[in-house]
Amino acid sequence: MSGNFHRSLDGVHNVNYGQWRSFADFEELLKDPKYEPLAEY
């Protein structure tokens, strides 16, 4: 996984996102009960 954080030039807005090697890897993460709330996304 790769994580990225971007802040706007005015410092008001930001974006934080992750990139997975594959969708299958992301689905494997969702099998862990502590990440269950993310499954709706």
Amino acid at 5: F
pTM (global) more than 0.85: no
d(CA 26, CA 14): 23
Q: What is the 3-state secondary structure (H, E, C) of 2-41?
A: EEEEEECCCCCCEEEEEECCCHHHHHHHHCCHHHHHHHHC
Tell me the C-alpha to C-alpha distance, in Å, between residue 1 and each of 12, 20, 22. 26, 5, 9
* Domain assignments of the chain as residue spans, ordered by start: 2-40
Q: Residue 37 has what pLDDT?
A: 79
pLDDT average per 10 residues of sequence, the chain (41 residues): 88 89 88 81 62
